[in-house]
Structure 1
């Protein structure tokens, strides 16, 4: 990402060399705090994040009620979450390619419109199979939002403000996940899970309208023709980048932890010794507010600790929360969830921002690959977490989370070792020259 630009549009393939910061006459027209449009953009994408996560995880807090309503196991009910996240993972790359041709703003608008329309049909699903199918369709529609949003920000926002802007979008995700679950929990307790899904759908409609009204037109987007061969080259280039591969793995592994914990959580809390009603279980998701704070603070963490240091802190916080949640007291479980949520959202914000800054061409595809890994992790974590809970209780779910966290540490340590090795090779080459 260039540090400055001329008044001409900045393409997704622009390099720093094209826009050198050597002339006082060069003016950067991209958005930054205090500039016109920055606040509107931030609030618009915050609303998009709320709608996306509210819809994507709308059934997660309702899984025990859905299991009871259709007479199915936790594993089968968990597919109402995993089908949505899995479909999003599969469709995010092709829809990001369409955004290169038709624009980020157009793609996000169309995706939200289809997703909220399906969301209004979901409460009327006559069987678990229909519910899973509609949720898969909803996830596929939502795939147009995350990667397009990241690419929009990378093109329209100055690099120094990018992590903060992406952090606010991720914060919108956390608020959406929280509000959707809280609303669903209390509405389900009063009128049943179908009414709860309808309420989440209406919430998403409102957010989609706010998004469309606030988001400014892109000023630095240049349309590209749709070329499968060019797309394959771009994707191949990203997958051949060792740093991007590590960031994709980190995002997926973090999401395995998060998906497993929050899918199995409802089943644990309805059982002894907690025996909590649906409304109270939904309210527990207020801990998502911690994610809002930690994701928004990701930029400061990176500035102070560096990217790897911030990731180590995030995974350590998540692991501490997993261990604390093993206690059979509600206070300990809540504190554990606070740490898990804070660590996850901080790690996600750091990794996703690093992807946007690392990719100098095809940013939409780079972000799409990250989102694919991220939501595949969510899909796998949700299903495996439910199966683990059914087989071995909460301790089995925690063990799965700790294993994924160890994977994050291993990938980050490998990156540190590789970076040191590259610096040594460069130093030896300099001496030899």
Structure 2
């Protein structure tokens, strides 16, 4: 491929968008990234990981430098499906640069962050600013938007088994809600999912004494999950929230009492809980609600059980003040905004990286991610490139 100007984030992003890397397809994105990295002195490897009943996924690890402090940039080149191409103003994989934006799937989530980090390194190389001692690595997966089985977790283990140790990581996910400089993520709430099953006895709706309707018990169990709230939050995290996301009986008939009913739920929990203590609280609530459920005289009692879905994503909070401070100072110097240090939102691959080193997240504005006409502002790409450049220089300078 023709390598774009290594200092131009818009050109780099356009080239990456033109690679249709919908999970789990590599789509040429990692090959393009490798071609961009090698001229900057990076050694690049592209391990492929496998797991039964899941697609193989290609990943990328690149490193520059052999000794000294080790800074990692993490992200993903895989993207969600674009939907109907005709719904897009520009083709979803066109990478068109028009009207002050770079257009296409992945522009914001998160090929844009990758392009800006590359351009920052390109500008530092051109100015002779890359650290003489120290290591810079990129940890890029093709499985973040998918099941996250053959991606970052295995790539981190693969790197550790090869002797790699990381001192800090920045993830280039789109963290800003409205404007560049709004927010740095320094932690994430955990995520726990499950199903509550209630088994009854099917019967005719006109003869309920011959059946055991699972629905009233299911409704009582569901109410116990959401009332009272799990907690009120704290200075570090928003309140935990449990959302019932599905209720189903599989019953198409209006005169049949169903044999079974199920509700599904997801909890985003803060550090008031662990996965273990939260499961115990949910089971306590369900047991209490089932015990308090009044039964119709002569009716059979339905049976309930909870099924936990693996894996549980742990809550975490980054306590490396130097990492957050250096990144905040770079953001404020470029944008004039002092970013909020937040733990809000969903999960990201930072939940895996935190087991290996302190991690913070900062990237583009997320308003168009996963949408038709996803696009990144050229002006924001320029500013994010300069933020990363200042951050990399400041991080290494602080470590001597």
Structures share a fold, TM > 0.5?
no
- TM-score under structure 1 length normalisation: 0.22
Q: Which has the higher helix share?
A: 1
Choose between structure 1 and 2: higher strand proportion: 2
Structure number with bigger Rg: 2
TM-score where L is the length of structure 2? 0.23
